[in-house]
């Protein structure tokens, strides 16, 4: 397994062998504003100890059980910043309750008379859909003419949360994503089962750290002509993986299938190319979506 979600303090860790063949645990990613991030842990840091116990050489499964615990209790960790930075010890409060990943505001662009509802989704967790619905309704009631959905640096999270969020923007019957694989149980077509909550134009901001569930949302809105994509080519993570625990307490991740976009594009290792590098104005976005819809119908 290449990464592990330490939900107790909001870390993703990667096992990296050192020159001696033993394992080092390096922070692959963090939940923004999560416990570890707020305490000062940064991407690329090496985890050295947990509660005074040296963890170098231990598996991520072992370290996971050491990091996790009842919410609002504390764990002391020691990290080495970057590859050659200082070593720091910090006390982190565990937080099992999902924090909102939604940040939003109403703003005006200099060259437009209309208001835009800007929404940043940091990750897809258990409360993402509920909080996004609330944000969309509040922004609509405040006069938002269209929306900018910011998925930059969103590495994913719960795939099902991403699928449910994509459905908020799609027409009933629109394809969200296809899943393919040799196992018939993996082969599936996921479609929207109700009408859209939002019918105004949407612009989705993406970059090279937009991955996994974020790419499912971006491709679903793009391929169904519900949004224009703006920014950089996305990361390209389209694998379906299952985790199996082994009898000795270790585990194995097996790739069992792939996600394929509504336009039947396999994005794994390739990503999604945006429509624009810079944010277009509202009329330009409307024209693009209109042409997209006409092409789709033809």
- Catalytic residue positions, numbered: 212, 237
CB-based contact 191:223 (threshold 8 Å):
no
User: Which of 90, 78, 74 is closest to 53 using CA atoms?
Assistant: 78
Q: What is the largest CA-CA distance in the chain?
A: 65
The H-assigned helical ranges of 109-158 are 128-141
Ordered alpha helix ranges (H), the chain: 35-39, 60-67, 128-141, 159-167, 213-223, 282-297
Pairing of strands 53-54, 23-30: unpaired
Question: For the chain, what's the residue count?
Answer: 298
CA–CA separation, 144 and 89 (whole Å): 45
Taking alpha carbons only, the member of 49, 56, 67 closest to residue 17 is 56
The C-alpha torsion from 269 through 274 and 279 to 284, rounded to 10°, is: -170
- CA-to-CA dists, residue 135 to 104, 147, 148, 217, 233, angstroms: 7, 11, 12, 17, 27
């Amino acid at each position: 397994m290449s990464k592990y979600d330490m939900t107790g303090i909001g870390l993703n860790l990667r096992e990296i062998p050192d020159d001696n063949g033993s394992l080092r645990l390096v922070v692959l990613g963090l939940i923004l504003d999560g416990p570890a991030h707020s305490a000062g842990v940064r991407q690329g840091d090496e985890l050295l100890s947990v509660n005074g116990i040296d963890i170098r050489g231990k598996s991520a499964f072992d370290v996971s059980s050491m990091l996790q615990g009842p919410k609002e209790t504390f764990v002391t960790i020691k990290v080495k910043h970057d590859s050659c930075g200082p070593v720091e010890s910090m006390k982190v409060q565990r937080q099992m309750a999902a924090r909102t990943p939604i940040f939003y505001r109403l703003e005006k662009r200099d060259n437009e008379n209309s208001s835009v509802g800007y929404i940043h989704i940091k990750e897809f967790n258990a409360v993402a859909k509920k909080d996004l619905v609330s944000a969309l309704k509040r922004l609509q009631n405040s006069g938002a003419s269209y929306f900018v959905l910011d998925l930059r640096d969103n590495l994913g999270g719960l795939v099902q949360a991403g699928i449910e969020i994509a459905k908020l923007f799609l027409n009933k019957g629109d394809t969200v994503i296809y899943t393919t694989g040799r196992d018939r149980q993996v082969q599936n077509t996921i479609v929207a089962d109700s009408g859209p909550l939002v019918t105004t134009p949407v612009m989705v901001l993406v970059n090279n750290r937009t991955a996994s569930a974020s790419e499912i949302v971006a491709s679903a809105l793009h391929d169904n002509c519900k949004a224009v994509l703006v920014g950089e080519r996305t990361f390209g993570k389209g694998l379906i993986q299952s985790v199996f625990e082994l009898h000795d307490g270790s585990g194995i991740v097996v790739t069992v299938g792939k996600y394929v976009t509504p336009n039947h594009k396999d994005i794994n290792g390739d990503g999604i190319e945006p429509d624009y590098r810079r944010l277009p104005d509202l009329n330009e976005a409307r024209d693009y979506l209109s042409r997209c819809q006409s092409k789709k119908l033809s």
